[in-house]
Every structure is written in C-alpha cells, then in structure tokens.
Structure 1
Amino acid sequence: MTLYRKYRPQKFSEVEGQTAIIQTLKNELSLGKIAHAYIFAGPRGIGKTTVARILAKAINCQNKKSVRERRLGKVEPCNRCVSCQEITAGRSLDLIEIDAASNRGINEIRALRENVRFAPQRDSFKVFIIDEAHMLTREAFNALLKTLEEPPPRTLFILATTEVHEVPETILSRCQRFDFKKLTVAEIEHRLAQILREEKRALNPEILRLIAIKADGGERDAEGILGQILSWPKKELKLSKVADFLGTVDWSLITDFVNMLASCDNAQAIRKVNEIVANGQDLFNFTDELIDYLRRMMLAKVQPALLDHAGLSFSAAQKEELVARAQNFSLKSLAYLVRLFMAAKNSLDAALIPQLSLELAIIEYSEAMGKVAEAQEKIQSPQLEEKEEKPSFPSLPDEYQKPIMNLEQVVGKWSEVLKTVEPLNYSLCAFLKLCQPVAFRDGSLVLGFPRDFHKDMVSQTRNKKIVEGVLDQILGGKWQIQCEKVELQQNNNLTREALEVLGGEIVK
C-alpha cells in the first residue's frame, strides 16, 4: 500500500496545514449546525476528499457525544464503531462517492437525484461526495441545482474541485465554500517526519526539504515521492542522488551563475550554460530555479523581511547569503534580469539550439550594464577633466605621498585580502581579482583596473567600505582606497610581482 493511502488522516487533528477550515467545521459540529452542502476548493493532493470523509464519519459516528462534550469541542470520529470503520474501508452504503470526471452527464445526476429520495439505511446522514465537481456538464449542474436548493432531510453534499471558477455561481451560492491552501514546506516536512517515525526509518533532513519543495504544496505528492525514495538501498539515500532523481538544480550552481552575471563575465556564464546541456541537465529546470532565485534576490533587495512572507523556504545560511548577494545588484537590474530570463524560458521550445535563448539573455544583460556604466562615466566626466592636469597614473609614482607601508608588502598580502572579501561579497572579489595595487597617493592605496566598468563597480560606496574594512583587518590601521583605470604594463617590476602573487594575467 502506498504511503499516502496508508497514512491518510482519519481524524481532524491529523490533517496538516488546514487549521482554519478544520476549526470552522469542528465549531459547526459542536453547535450541531451542519450545512446541507459544502464546496471544498483548492489544488490537488492537499486533503479535500480526506476532510470530506472525516466530516462524514464525524456526523455519522455511532459513539455519540453528549451536548456538553460537543460544546467542549469533542467532535472527532471514534474510528471504532461500525459506521466509522465502514467509511474508512469504503464500504458504507450511506457514503456515496462520485467521480465527476467519468460520471459527468445529466443521466448520472438524474440517478443521483433518485438515490437522494431514499433515507439513510443505517447512519444519521446520507453523504454524497462529488469529486472533481467542475467536470460536470452544464446540464448536469442544472439538474443538481434544485436538489441543492431544497435537499431532503438528513442529506449532505460535499463537492470537491480543483477548478472552482468553472463551477456555476448558482451552485456556489447554495454551498458553504472552503478554500484549501497549499501546504508550506515546513508543514510537509513535519508530516513526512511523522511518517518516517511510524515507518521506523531515518533520512537526512535536507532530503525531506528537497521533497517538500518539489511537492509544491501537495501533501499527497510529497508522500508519493517519499515512498519511492524509501524503496532505495540505504547506501543510495544521499542528498546528491535524491536531487538528481527529483531533477532539482544544485543551489551552488545557481549562485555561481549569478556571480558570473554580477561581474558581467559573459564567457564563463555562456560556458556554464553549455556545460549544463552537455551534462544532460534540464534547461527548463535550471531556468525555473534561476528565475526563482533572482526573484528571491529582488524581494531581499526591497526588504529582507519579505523573504519570510512570500511562500519561500531555505536554510538560515542560504537566506543570509541571498541578502548579502542582493547588495551586488540594483533593484532595477534584478527586475530586468527576471524579465530577461522569463522571456528566455518562453523561447526555449522555439529555439533551434536550446541554450541560445539563455546565451542571448546573458549578452543582452551585459550590454545593458555596459551602457549604464558608460552613462555614469559621462555624468562624472567634468570632474575627471579637472584632474587631467596631473600626469596620467601610474607613470609618475614618485610624486605620490610617502606610503604608510611598503607597496610590495601590500601586494604580498593581497591574496589574503581576496580570500577575506570573497565570503562577504562574491562579485566584489571577482572585480578585485582583475585589479592590481599599484601605488599610494594622498594617503590612499591606489588600485589599477583595466576597464572603467570594473573600476566603477568597486568605487561604489558599499563596495569601497568592504575593501577598506578588510584592509584594516589584514594590514592594520585605517585604510582608504582610490580606483583608477590604468594601462598596466607587463614589464613593470611591481606588476610582474603582483601577477605572480595573484595568479592573474594582463587584460588588453
């Protein structure tokens, strides 16, 4: 027997994630004010039919509770009497379940109307559960309408549907409507952990999280996946194996790719996309995960607290990393990236070369950021013209003020600076790897960059503060930096030494 059938909730208290609905139904039971018809609406696999069966057991339970007990909220079915056991086993003559997907015509509803005329054979109520009610034809709905409007005594209708907007308003207005919600990742994890305890099995909590995310709010889907995974040999129950089985994309793959976008490293980003295709991974899954990640960054940029209220789930470390990485982008650029990759995803099917859509998105974003950098440079150009009287940097290093420490010592410590910056801001570290400490001027350490774009990014106030703080920590004292675009000469002794320490090369 599959797990979702074996562990189907048999009491209201066992239902996960539908607290408000369960409490309302229990209140109605305790007051003895049951409606004659209900609409249970919501996505598949979240408990609509299960709650309908529990409600049927509760109103027909032969171990009747006293008025005082009901007023105290003791309305759970006993699951021991003949009525409860027959409903659980699907043998009750007073519980009629109809699959509207295969019994959708007017003739089936006419037969139901004939059945409604007869009183319950043994139980207090005759209960009709119509699953996938939206599949009924218009004529069938019209035939059902009069019965719902004036139902016989001791009759209860429960219509379950995943497409409530397709149910006619005339039907909806005659029913009490309950909208079931998708379960959160935490709720699904809690339910799966309960099942594991019953099965006397153990799994890595991260595997449960992966299953919960993949289930997309559906408890039945999650339990089905868990059943598949528990059939594996123990040695195969590894996070990487499960992630591969579920087709999920590794978080580190997404973060690496976003770092490449942040530094406008087109070659690396395009190479990564082609590696994904070469490894047989699904580009649709990758693009979905990328869009989701960019959306999370966008929300973190607006306000980090939004991450707790947007139906998202990740570990505390992932959330902290996400908030930090969002600082490398403007809100406008993140919104632009989301739109770009949403358009790229929609074009994946139509493209002759699957990865072409993503490659174009990468190039388009890089070009747009280049234009932004050029515009910023033009805005700042009057200030730059005032400084043109000074000799071009770094041709006259002798005129700089005497440094607070030897420049060769700074170069020797630079790799340590990079390692310290990297966990604080990945993109900033990528930019710093392209520069070289070349001189001191006006009490500041001058960093030489081969391109204006990289120089401008590091010159941003928040990035400068990070670099200066790390320099304070590694080299001691209070440091300030200046960023300049320079023509780096490979025959310069200091440049050669910097290249040896940093492991880089001259970019022409």
Structure 2
Amino acid sequence: MSYQVIARKYRPKTFEDITAQEHITRTIQNSLRMGRVGHGYIFSGLRGVGKTTAARVFAKAVNCQKIIEDPEYLRTVTEPCGECESCRDFDAGTSLNIAEFDAASNNSVDDIRTLRENVRYGPQKGRYRVYIIDEVHMLSIAAFNAFLKTLEEPPPHAIFIFATTELHKIPATIASRCQRFNFKRIPLEEIQKQLQMICNAEGITVEPDALQLVGRKAHGSMRDAQSILDQVIAFSVDRQNEGGISYSKVAELLNYVDDDHFFAVTDAVLERNPSAMIDTAQFVIENGYDEQDFLEKLIEHLRNILMVQNLRSPRLVERPDAVRERYLRDAERFSPGSVMQMIDLLLNTSRELKFQFEYRFRFELALLKLIDLASGGATSGASAEAPGTPQKKKPVMQH
C-alpha cells in the first residue's frame, strides 16, 4: 500500500476532531438537532484551518442514517456514526450524494450550467445532495451570475457549501444568500498538541520546542504544520523510528535563524556596538540566510519586545519559557518609542529590498541605522560604551 501523508491520514472525521473551530461546529450541530439546515453556506478563512474538512463532515452528517433514524443519538451525539451505509460509502469515496467541485479549474459559465443541471436530481439515498465548491472566489462574474437563481430557489434536497480563502472576492449577491462562517487561525498551542498526538501515534520521540518551531512556521495553518512535520520526520527519523526529532534538526531543515541572533542585534543596539552588528549581518549573509526573511523575523522579535512592554507579560510571545524570560529582561532596557521607530525602519527597508539592488549593503545599512535610532531608546544604565566613544553621553531613555 502506498504511503499516505500525515495531513490525509489524520484528517478529522467528526466535528469533535476539528481543532479550534468550536464556534462553527457547535452551530452546525445545533442546526442539525433543530432541523434548521440551510441551503447555502460560505466557509472562509486561512488555508489549512479546516474549511473543506468541516464541509465534508457536515455533508456526511446530514445523510447519516443513525442521525436520521435515532432521535436520541441526534440529540446527544450529533456526529456521523461512520458505521451506516451512507457513512461507509462516503469514507470509501463512492457516495453519490456528495460532490466536490473545484472552482479554480472549473470557473466558466458552462461549468455552472452543468452543475445546475445535476442539482435537479435528488439524492440516491438519504436526504440531501451536498455540493462542496472549493476556492469559490475563482469563479468568473458571469459564472456567479449564472448561479444566482439556483442559489435563490434551490431544490429542497440540495445544500451548497462554498469554501474560500478570499471572502471579499465573493459578490454580495451570493454572500447574502448564504450563512457565513469565518474559520479562525489555529492557536500555536492547539497545533503543538495535535502534532504531539500524531508523533505519539507514529511512535516518534520529539522535543516540545521542536514542535513549537514547526507550529510557528505554519502560521496558524494545521495542514501546513502537518506537511512540515512529514518533512521533518523524513529528515530526522530512520526506518526503525530511531533518532527522534530535536529542535536542532528542525532548525537545520527549516533553515531557521535561532533567537540568539535576534537578541544579538538588540544587544548591539543597546551597547552601541557597530562591530557586533556587522558580525551578525555577516553571519546571515555567509550562511546563506535570506536577508528579507531575517528582517521579517527581526520585526517579529521587536514586536515581542513591544508586547512585553505594553502587557508587562510575555503571554503573547510564542517562544519557549527560557526565551520568554529573556524578553522580560530586555523589554525593560528599551523605550516603547524607540522600538516602534526601529520597526518602522525595518518595515521600510523590507519593502525596499523587494524592488532595489544592493541587497547586502542595504541590509547592513539598516542594521547599523538601528544603533543610531537607539539614541532615544536604551537606558543609560543598561547600555555599554562602544570602543572609542567618549565617556560622557547624554541619557538615551526618556522616562
């Protein structure tokens, strides 16, 4: 049997398994219990957060024979049973009551006309025929218009579920005829917990910090996190499942710049040490890291300092506890105004690097300019004298 990737192998099969979208799964389950199933739904949100998965579980539930025939099961469980003929057909991919339609490659008026013709036919078994239309924002305006009448007066057996990552591209005439559900970005803790469960099921040892790094790289997308984990396992673990996944291996594979180097930048700013700043720039360049990516992560580093300063807590800093403690200490050494000035400088530099040449020089220049900006931002007691500078300096933080 061919290998099945983690994102498919561990795809949720019930509402309960869908991570961090309880506001949506609860609403759908309540609508099933009350018999208030609509004819049109829009599922929007970031890629890989469960839109199509939720649509499939919903489609499976509305035709589940146990939900239809057993009022007590409907009231107390409200999950597709996975055992009835309808659920088994769905799992085997042979159900004729569920149709998935890719709007990215079938976006013309003719494609919609064909869909409209098929909608007239009732379900083979069960109550509904469910049409899941992925990337619905890719339909042409003419195709949307051709779909309006069907969506306004659909057959009683038809349910349309539109999944999209770009809700703003859907015409208001379509959106107003549907119930809209916005899927949230999945919190890092939930991603880390799910990845740990997968590693336990696969018999793979893993360091918690390594999973946190994978989760941060996924930026709130569970599917991205699972795909990265697949890659990490292939890199770290041998055939006998020996070796395990360590933080260092994940950082090496993902070409991740360690937090120490971002703290080295802010330390050089505090110490007004251009030599140390140039050394950090050389490390980035000589090790083949992308300057643009380094600046983006440096902006995130300064953002973490700013959050700690304003909240007096590192609770919004997605880092291991030891690194959080370091942010707590360093946040006291800058003024919020100087941090915001440095972020503005880096944002402007990041934009310039996309369109201009001399990347290396502009990158080095931006890091050196941070030291000049610090003249209004580091505490006089915390800053060190740079070699060759006068002993008398005016205080650089205004309380």
| TM value normalised by structure 2 | 0.91
The equivalent of 1:196 in structure 2 is 199
| 5+ residue gaps, structure 1 | 374-424, 436-448, 463-508
Residues 135-169 of structure 1: CA deviation (Å, up to 9, x unaligned): 01111111111111111011111000111100000
Q: Distance in 2 between matches of 1:68 and 1:92?
A: 26
Distance between the aligned counterparts of 1:239 and 1:88, measured in 2?
37
The residue that corresponds to 2:350 in the other structure is: 345
Candidates 59, 63, 70, aligned match of 1:66: 70
Return the alpha-carbon distance in structure 2 between the equivalents of residues 289 and 183 of structure 1. Answer: 20
Q: State which of 360, 371, 386 in structure 2 corresponds to 1:355.
A: 360
Contact 2:341 2:373 in 1 (8 A): no
Partner of residue 52, structure 1: 55
Q: Give the CA deviation at 1:88.
A: 2.2
1:163 aligned onto 2:166? yes
RMSD: 2.4
Q: Answer whether contact 2:6 2:230 (CA < 8 A) is retained.
A: yes
Q: Show structure 2 runs of 5+ residues with no match.
A: none
Q: Residues 274 and 355 of structure 1 are in contact (CA less than 8 Å); yes or no, is this contact kept in structure 2?
A: no
Compute the displacement of 1:123 (Å).
Answer: 2.2
CA contact (8 A) 2:265 2:280 kept: yes
1:452 to 375, 392, 396: 392
* Alignment CA distance shift 1:288-1:317 (3 Å): same
Aligned to 1:405: none
> 1:50: how far off?
0.5
Structure 1 residue 337 displacement after superposition: 0.3
Distance 1:258 1:132, change over 3 A: same
Matches within 5 A, 1:270-419: 270-305=278-313, 307-308=314-315, 312-370=317-375
Q: Would the aligned equivalents of 2:97 and 2:130 in 1 still touch at CA under 8 Å?
A: yes
Partner of 1:280, secondary structure, is coil
Given that residues 263 and 427 in structure 1 are in contact (C-alpha distance below 8 angstroms), is that contact kept between their aligned partners in structure 2?
no
CA drift of 1:348 comes to 2.1
Q: Are 2:19 and 2:190, in contact at CA under 8 Å, matched by a contact in 1?
A: yes
Alignment of 1:221-260 (within 5 A): 221-232=224-235, 233=238, 234-235=242-243, 237-260=245-268
Counterpart amino acid of residue 227 in structure 1: D
Q: Contact 2:5/2:230 (CA < 8 Å) preserved in 1?
A: yes
Residue 175 of structure 1: CA displacement?
Answer: 0.4
Secondary structure at 1:431 match in 2: coil
Letter of the structure 2 residue corresponding to residue 281 of structure 1 = Y
Q: Give the corresponding residue for 2:124.
A: 121
2:73 and 2:344 map into 1 onto residues whose CA distance is 57
Of 106, 109, 119, which aligns to 2:109? Answer: 106
> Does the CA contact (< 8 Å) of 2:269 and 2:374 recur in 1?
no
- Residues 40-67 of structure 1, C-alpha deviation per residue, up to 9 Å, x if partnerless? 0011111111110100111101223533
Q: In the TM superposition, what is the alpha-carbon distance from 1:426 to its structure 2 partner?
A: 11
Moved more, 230-239 or 335-344: 230-239
Give, in whole Å, the separation in 2 of the partners of 1:236 and 1:196: 10
Q: What are the Cα deviations for residues 183-225 of structure 1, in whole angstroms up to 9, with x where unaligned?
A: 1110101111111122122211111111100011111111111
1:7 maps to which residue? 10
**What's the CA shift string for 1:427-469, capped at 9, x where partnerless?**
956617979xxxxxxxxxxxxx94323x735xx799xxxxxxx
Tell me the SS of whatever aligns to 1:178: strand
8 A contact 2:45–2:166 mirrored in 1? yes
Out of 211, 219, 228, the position equivalent to 1:208 is 211
Q: Partner amino acid for 2:341?
A: Y
Which range moves more in the overlay, 194-203 or 330-339?
Answer: 194-203
Assess if the C-alpha contact under 8 Å between 2:31 and 2:37 holds in 1: yes
AA aligned opposite 1:215: A
Checking the alignment, whether the CA contact within 8 Å between 2:199 and 2:205 is kept in structure 1 is: yes
Range moving further from structure 2, 193-202 or 354-363: 354-363
**In 1, Cα distance between the equivalents of 2:234 and 2:380?**
43
1:431 aligns with 2:384: yes
Which secondary structure state, in structure 1, belongs to the residue aligned with residue 66 of structure 2?
Answer: coil
- Structure with more relative contact order (C-alpha pairs < 8 Å, separation 6 or more): 2
Mapped partners of 2:311, 2:142: distance in 1? 51
Given that 1:351 and 1:357 are in contact with CA atoms closer than 8 Å, whether structure 2 keeps it comes out as no
Aligned length: 390
Report 1:18-97 matches (<5 A).
Answer: 18-64=21-67, 65-72=69-76, 74-97=77-100
Amino acid at match of 1:331: P
Distance in 1 of aligned mates of 2:326 and 2:111:
57
Contact 1:53 1:87 in 2 (8 A): no
CA offset at residue 274 of structure 1? 1.8
Matches of 1:83 and 1:169, distance apart in 2? 35
Residue 355 of structure 1 and its aligned partner are, at CA, apart by: 2.5
User: What amino acid is aligned across from residue 180 of structure 2 in structure 1?
Assistant: R
Indicate the percent of aligned positions where both proteins have the same amino acid. Answer: 37
Deviation at 1:227, TM superposition (A): 1.1
**Matched-pair contact (CA < 8 Å) for 1:348–1:355:** no
Normalising by structure 1, we get a TM-score of 0.72
TM-aligned CA deviation for residue 303 of structure 1: 2.2
Residue of structure 1 equivalent to 2:185: 182
Cross-structure match for 2:142: 139
